[in-house]
Amino acid sequence: MTAQVKPSARVDVELGERSYPILIGNGLIAGAPQFLAETLPGTRFAIVADEAVRAYAEQLEAGLAGAGLLLGPTVYVPSGEASKSFASLERVTAALLDLGVERDHAVVALGGGVIGDLAGFAAATLKRGVRVVQVPTTLLAQVDSSVGGKTGIDTQHGKNLVGAFHQPSLVLIDLDTLKTLPPREFRAGYAEVAKYGALGDSVFFRWLEDNAAAIFELDTYPLTDAVETSVRMKAEIVSRDEKEAGDRALLNLGHTFGHAVEAWAGYSGDVLHGEAVALGMVLAARFSEAEGFCAHTVSRRLEDHLAEVGFATTFSELRQRLGRAPTLDELTGFMEQDKKVKDGKMNLVLLSGIGNAFVAKDVARDKIRAFLAAELER
């Protein structure tokens, strides 16, 4: 068995019989056989991994094989949002069946949010549900998508419109994987970190303003604090509202606008999820200001911080970077396909201040359309 590895932090998602731990620290992939055997004793595992993290997959595969916990060779998936598709789901499911996955086995999802969503959805549907362990290797997946049990794929109609709630049995967050993450991917993940401060913790947001540079330099202590604080906030919200009937909707700050931008870009990599969310958060703050819910200083502060770390915060900047920008009809069309539209009415997560988000229900579409028309000309 692999030598003992100790996490630096543990956060628990409290969901009764489906509660699970989130372990955070360095070297946790090396210690995975230990953690998996402790959490799911007597279980064998099949790995689904992003091709971009092959080195980590080989390390995990060797460790599980050495401990007698591996079902078979790793199932690799091409990198990128395009892999969150029906075609990829079919291929991954078939590969897992070829490995002989049974209901008392478990799937390990190793990679970013794409793999977590795809492999998690495959696990949710395979044999009517097998267990899944999330091992996120990107900052975005570590602080957001690996926690809370949302799984799914994209369709031509929009992002994450087909999926299931399927809570993991364990989340292993190995901070060492961030050392090999491309800077753009790290920045994209930081958008979700900033989101937690913006929606529910003004003190954390102020701390991020003071410590962002150290976080981007992968300074161990501020990086660990940023990840742990983000994960703890999400775990607390998920524990209160597992299936987004109330507070969990606040986690969608910036996502209704952002998902529309992602869908417009065709999930091609031209606009990463975190980049879209960053722009979406600024749009949500500006719309909040336009509707009189918050002072101008709120949107300005959020915009300044996100711009400082390198995000585009206006459509004109997006146009400069890509040579194109969405049209008004494209944006509103994709927004109306969003999961947060209920009975044909638009719900938005807005801000009354930094650290104070709320859900605005039945927002008039003509107001959104007029706002976006002005933003596109900004």
Q: Which one from 244, 262, 275, 303 is the annotated catalytic residue?
A: 244
Is 61 labelled as part of a ligand binding site? no
Tell me whether residue 367 is one of the annotated catalytic residues: no
Is 115 labelled as part of a ligand binding site? yes
Q: Which one from 166, 187, 255, 286 is the annotated catalytic residue?
A: 255
Tell me whether residue 356 is one of the annotated catalytic residues: no
Tell me whether residue 340 is one of the annotated catalytic residues: no
Tell me whether residue 17 is one of the annotated catalytic residues: no
Q: How many residues does the chain have?
A: 378
Is 157 labelled as part of a ligand binding site? no
Is 174 labelled as part of a ligand binding site? no
Q: Which one from 105, 150, 166, 301 is the annotated catalytic residue?
A: 150
Tell me whether residue 54 is one of the annotated catalytic residues: no
Tell me whether residue 305 is one of the annotated catalytic residues: no
Is 39 labelled as part of a ligand binding site? no
Q: Which one from 259, 301, 305, 340 is the annotated catalytic residue?
A: 259
Is 173 labelled as part of a ligand binding site? no
Is 83 labelled as part of a ligand binding site? yes
Is 145 labelled as part of a ligand binding site? no
Is 116 labelled as part of a ligand binding site? yes
Is 176 labelled as part of a ligand binding site? no
- What's the CA gap between 48 and 122, in Å, rounded? 10
Q: Which one from 105, 166, 187, 273 is the annotated catalytic residue?
A: 273
Is 243 labelled as part of a ligand binding site? no
Q: What is the three-state SS of the chain?
A: CCCCCCCCEEEEECCHHHCEEEEEECCCCCCHHHHHHHHCCCCCEEEEEEHHHHHHHHHHHHHHHHCCCECCCCEEECCCHHHCCHHHHHHHHHHHHHCCCCCCCEEEEEECHHHHHHHHHHHHHHHHCCEEEEEECCHHHHHHHCCCCEEEEEECCEEEEEEEECCCCEEEEEHHHHHHCCHHHHHHHHHHHHHHHHHHCHHHHHHHHHHHHHHHCCCHHHHHHHHHHHHHHHHHHHHHCCCCCCHHHHHHCCHHHHHHHHHHCCCCCCCCHHHHHHHHHHHHHHHHHHCCCCCHHHHHHHHHHHHHCCCCCCHHHHHHHHCCCCCHHHHHHHHCCCCCCECCEEEEEEEEECCEEEEEEEECHHHHHHHHHHHHCC
Give yes or no for a contact between 222 and 293, defined as CB atoms under 8 angstroms apart: no
Is 332 labelled as part of a ligand binding site? no
Tell me whether residue 273 is one of the annotated catalytic residues: yes
Is 266 labelled as part of a ligand binding site? no
Is 82 labelled as part of a ligand binding site? yes
Is 6 labelled as part of a ligand binding site? no
Q: Which one from 61, 185, 192, 262 is the annotated catalytic residue?
A: 192
Tell me whether residue 296 is one of the annotated catalytic residues: no
Is 84 labelled as part of a ligand binding site? yes
Is 261 labelled as part of a ligand binding site? no
- What's the CA gap between 288 and 302, in Å, rounded? 12
- What's the CA gap between 13 and 146, in Å, rounded? 12
Query: What distance, in Å, lies between the first and last C-alpha atoms of the chain?
Result: 59
Q: Which one from 61, 160, 185, 252 is the annotated catalytic residue?
A: 252
Q: Which one from 105, 187, 248, 305 is the annotated catalytic residue?
A: 248
Tell me whether residue 244 is one of the annotated catalytic residues: yes
Is 345 labelled as part of a ligand binding site? no
Tell me whether residue 150 is one of the annotated catalytic residues: yes
Give yes or no for a contact between 48 and 108, defined as CB atoms under 8 angstroms apart: yes
- What's the CA gap between 170 and 310, in Å, rounded? 33
Is 138 labelled as part of a ligand binding site? yes
Is 57 labelled as part of a ligand binding site? no
Sequence ranges of the binding site: 79-84, 113-117, 137-138, 150, 159, 177-180, 192, 255, 273
Sequence ranges of the binding site for Zn(2+): 192, 255, 273
Catalytically active residues, by annotation: 128, 150, 192, 234, 244, 248, 252, 255, 259, 273
